[in-house]
Structures are given as C-alpha cells and as structure tokens.
Structure 1
Amino acid sequence: MTPTLLLVAHGSRDARFPATACRVRDAVAATLPGVDVRLAYLDLNAPLVGDALDEIAGDCVVVPLLFAAGYHQKIDLPAIIGEHDRRGRVVIRSEVIGTFPLANALAERLSEAGLGESACRRAGIILSAVGSSDAAADRHVRRRAIELSTLLNRPVEVVFATKLGHREHQLRNAVRRLRAAGADRIALSPYFLSAGLLTERVEAALDVHAPGALVAGPLGAHRDIVDAVCHHYWTAASTRTMSAKAPDQESVSAATFVARA
C-alpha cells in the first residue's frame, strides 16, 4: 500500500493560513494521484499532528511545511510522532521543504508583484522570515538570501519578523544598507507560506521606514513548493523500508522534481 503523505504546517490564528495550507495540500494531491495526502497542524488549527497520525492505519511519510529546521523539526515534531506512533507501521519524517531550492519561487513572486527586469536592476530586497531560537535555522534563511541575491544580482538583506527590535531598528538598518548599496527602491520578499500577522508586522514597519516599497506575495502553493513536497515524500519513502512498496515514481512527471534554482 502506498504510504500516506501527511503535510504538517505550523498553524495560525489568521484564517488565511489554513486556507493556504489547504491549497498546498490540494495541489500536492493533484500532482500525486493515488497517494492519500492529508494535512495537520502543530498548533492552533485542527487536526493536530497527533490526532491525524492516530487516524492513519498504515505507513506514513510526514513532510513538514517549514522553511528551516528549528525547534519544531528537531524537537517538537519528533516527540509528537513518538507519542502517537503505532507498532507495525513505519512513520518517516522528511526534511523541511526549505531544504529544496526555492530562490526561483521567491524571484517569481517578486516579478508577479511588479519587480520587472528594469526595476530589479535598481532594487534592494529584504527577505523576511519568521526567525528562530535555533541559530542554525536563521543561518539557513541567510543562505537563502545569498541564493536570491546571486540569482537576481541585487543586494538582499534578511529581516526576521520576530526580531525586528526596538522601533524596528533591524528593518531600519537593513533599509539603510540597501540604500547605501545604491538601491533606489526597496522590495519585500516574504519567505513565508502564507500571509498572516507576522507578514503584516513587517509590512507595517516597511510602510514607515521605506514608504512605497514593493511587497511580494508569500510562496503559498507555488509549483516549487509542491515540487519540494513531492521530492521529500519520495526521497523519504525510498530511503526506508515501508510495509508495502510505493508505486513506480515514473508515474509522476520527472519535471516535478526539477530544481529551478
């Protein structure tokens, strides 16, 4: 039997977040016909991960819809899986989707927001992310900023929504550095799955410190997000012995797994 794919999202009080997560689930299900694709949350939304695992009888691959491997990936999720695992089945936790190349997706969201080729040559970009207590997770975001900077040949600064500082000094300093580097326009690139309270916090601060800045949309159900999920699902399923062999991966278009970085 094909292992169930359980997408795990963080959860939010903002209704836009579960709506976006559902769109990602639907897009993944359409790309993986024959795979039972489900969605659960770590907090704030239902079903919670433990409840979802209890409803899955067979083997399962858990794919975290997270962009960096911080506390949730290293501590929280493994503990939940351990508490709700059942003897006689295999539950595999994949890498977070942020380990997949996503710089092209960020660049496309900027282009969709109006940062065309000519405007991009004059722009300075702020990559906003949640921020983590895990230093390695924050370093991952900074590496993604370097990838985006290399792709667009423009300066990219990182600002963490949970670490803006007093009077948003982290954002103010990022804007100043971009201006000093020659940027005559600031563009915001959210490294987020969905719009929500944190993205709005950064946008509100940007309205004060860089009026008229261009704001791209979150990644949402971008095709590279779907590719990341599919890639991690098949990789996890193929690297451990499941109780039944997964179907031939050739049934999913090879283009699904082509990195666009």
Structure 2
Amino acid sequence: MSSRKPPVTPAQRPRNPGPAGSVHDGAGAPSRHPALPLRQHGRAADADHRPARHPAQRPAPATRPAPRSPHMHPTLIAVAHGSRDPRAPHTVLALLERVRELRPALDVRLGHIELNRPLLADTLRDTAGAAVLVPLLLGRGTHVKRDLPAAAARAGHLRIRVAGPLGPHPLLVEVLFERLLEAGWTPGTAVVLASAGSLDPDSAADTRRAADLLSERLGGVPVVPAYASAAAPNVPDAVRALAARGYHRAAVASYFAAPGRFASASAAAATGPAAAPLGAHPALARLVLRRYDEALAHSAREPELATA
C-alpha cells in the first residue's frame, strides 16, 4: 500500500505568514516590506509558521550616511599649526565643534602643519572635490603665504582656495578683551600683546594692527606688541619698556589660538594679569566661518576655484 498522502487542495493549505522580520536587499540593508513566500517546485516554502509581526514590531531598516554630493559646499579644512602641548589639539577640536554647531551641513575637517595628527597632507589626501583651507593663524607669515599654497598645489585631485589668516580682526579683539577681563585686568593697566613672531614683515604689521585695535577697545591704554620668537621686542623686554614708562603692573594678552610653549612663556613674563589664549571662543568660531565665506566670495568673482 502506497504511503503517499492525498494531494492537498489550495483551500486546505495553511496560509503562509512569511518569515518573521524583514528581508535584506542586495546591499545588506533590511527592507521595509514583509518577506514574500518563496516557491519551491510549485509549493510555498512555509517551514516557519510563526505568526507574522505587526509592522511596528519589525526591525527598523539600517541607515547609511548620504553620499556627498558634488554640488555641496566645499569642505572647510581648518589648518592648525600643531603643538607639543597636549592641550592644544583638544582646544582646536573644541573650536571646530563650535564651527559645526553654527553650520551643521558643512563638512569641517582639521589638518596640522606639524607635530599633531592629522597632518594637513593626510587630510587633503582624504578629501574630494573642492576645499577651502582656513588657517587658524593670526597673521600673514610664512605658513599662510608659502606653506599652505604649496600644500594646495601638491593636492592635484582637489580644487582649493586658501583663505586669509584670522587676524587682525575686531572679533579677535573682542576675544582678547574678554580673556583680559577674565584674568583680572582693570582699566588703566597697560598691556603687552604677546604673539608667536615671524621674520615676515607683513606678520609684524598684522600684530601691530591688532595691538592698535586692542588699545582702542581698552580705552586708549598702551598696548605694546611683542613676540615669543623671531622678532623684537620679546615679551620680557616689552614688559620692562612699559615699566620704564611708569606702568609697573603690565598685563599680558595671549595672542595665540591655543595653549602651548610660547603662550606659557609669554604669560610667565607678566607683572600683572596674564590672560589665557584665544581658545574655543564662540567669536573665534564665527570668524573661522567668515574667512571661509570670504574665500568663497572671492572665488565666485573668479571663474573657478584655484586648481592644483
């Protein structure tokens, strides 16, 4: 006697609820649609008879970051100098977080000239399309005028515009003023504006201009520019010069973007309050974006971005 069971009519077959959960598409992402029954030799493969989940119970589909469109704004690459002081990179990262908060849709990246990672060359290598280099530097020194254009020229796969340095600018003066107040500066106290220094005369001119703007903001008290390296006077000499003029309690304003060896040495020479560096101040974040926008506006007046 045959052991074959009588054929099951379509009406007798159990309804197949389909596999629980979602199926995966070719990219491995779960589909929002319920699984369809697979056909094997004309018959539904209904080995799994568990009840179908309600749509709200199904796993949410995996999301992927949207691909970067070539029509999006050029990447903002902030260029920091780099420092052996471990506080410096943390300060720069905090500043860039403020920049991202101000403009969330903008791709903001970091590259260092030396000492810290990521180095600028690595950031440029990993960037596509167009970019604007915004130096987190305060004057027109060698890095701004020679090193950054050279780095842009080596990145032949990018269309690059190099923005101007952050200083001098009234927003920086406001940050300097706040940092002095935080340190205990009082009206009438003379100030030494301590900066890194450079052999480039344009850099010295920019620092002198910043000192003049700060003097105006402080009500006309003397503000003497001084340098931690490469140029004269150095900070101790500037403090002594003010003492010779009767200002025996001189404050030091730290014209540095982040903490470091130069900022610490300059602060140590103060005979009065010693202010902290500019740091991750909200006004500095606004200035970074202003330099980015200025570079793009300048490129819009030209047919194309500078191409390496």
1:121-163 C-alpha deviation (Å, 9 max, x unpaired) = 2x11010000001111011101110111111121111110115
- Residue of structure 2 in register with 1:52 after alignment: 123
Alignment partner of 1:204 out of 268, 272, 282: 268
Q: Which residue of structure 1 lines up, in the alignment, with residue 73 of structure 2?
A: 2
- State the one-letter code of the partner of 1:29: R
**Larger Rg belongs to:** 2
Q: Kindly indicate which of the two structures has a greater share of residues assigned to helix.
A: 1
CA-CA distance at 1:231 after TM superposition: 0.6
Q: Distance in 2 between matches of 1:164 and 1:17?
A: 23
CA distance in 2, matches of 1:4, 1:232: 13
Q: Is 1:155 aligned to 2:222, yes or no?
A: yes
Give the 5 Å matches for 1:1-261: 1-86=72-157, 89-101=158-170, 102-115=172-185, 119-121=186-188, 123-152=189-218, 153-163=220-230, 170-206=234-270, 210=271, 213-241=272-300
Contact 1:191 1:219 in 2 (8 A): yes
In 2, the alpha carbon distance for the partners of 1:146 and 1:239 equals 27
CA RMSD of aligned residues (A): 1.9
Q: Which letter does structure 1 place at the counterpart of 2:108?
A: V
Distance in 1 of aligned mates of 2:130 and 2:169: 24
State the SS of the aligned residue for 2:179: helix
Greater RCO structure (CA 8 Å; 6+ sep): 1
Return the alpha-carbon distance in structure 1 between the equivalents of residues 256 and 234 of structure 2.
19
Aligned to 2:306: none
Secondary structure, counterpart of 2:252 in structure 1: strand
Given residue 117 of structure 2, which amino acid in structure 1 is its aligned partner? Answer: A
* Alpha-carbon separation, structure 2, partners of 1:145 and 1:29: 30
Change (3 A) 1:144 1:134: same
Q: Deviations over 1:10-30 (max 9, x none)?
A: 011111111111011111011
- Matched letter for residue 145 of structure 2: K
State the alpha-carbon separation in 1 of the partners of residues 132 and 93 from structure 2. Answer: 18
Residue 247 of structure 1: aligned partner: none
- 1:188/1:214 contact within 8 Å kept: yes
Distance 2:294 2:136 in 1: 16
Any idea what SS the aligned residue of 2:229 has? Answer: helix
Residues 173, 49 of structure 1: alpha-carbon distance in 2 compared, 3 angstrom cutoff: closer
Is this contact kept in 2: 1:155–1:181, CA < 8 A? no
2-structure distance, mates of 1:172, 1:74: 29
Cα distance in structure 1, aligned partners of 2:112 and 2:236? 34
Kindly state the Cα deviation for residue 100 of structure 1 after the two structures are TM-superposed: 3.0
Identity of aligned residues (%): 37
Instruction: Normalising by structure 1, report the TM-score.
Output: 0.82
Gaps of 5+ in 1: 243-261
- Aligned to 2:100, the other structure's residue is in SS state helix
Q: Give the letter aligned to residue 194 of structure 1.
A: A
Query: How far has the Cα of 1:172 moved from its partner?
Result: 4.1
Structure 1: which 4+ aligned runs deviate by more than 4 Å? none
Query: For residues 128 and 70 of structure 1, what CA distance do their matches in structure 2 show?
Result: 16
Give the superposition deviation at 1:40: 0.7
- Output the CA distance in 1 between the equivalents of 2:101 and 2:173: 24
Is 1:164–1:171's contact at 8 Å kept on the other side of the alignment? no
| Counterpart contact for 1:188–1:216, Cα < 8 Å | yes
Structure 1 residue 32, shift from structure 2 partner: 0.8
Q: In the superposition, relative to structure 1, how do residues 24 and 85 fare at CA in structure 2: closer, same or farther (>3 Å)?
A: farther
CA distance in 2, matches of 1:82, 1:164: 29
TM-score normalised according to structure 2 size: 0.70
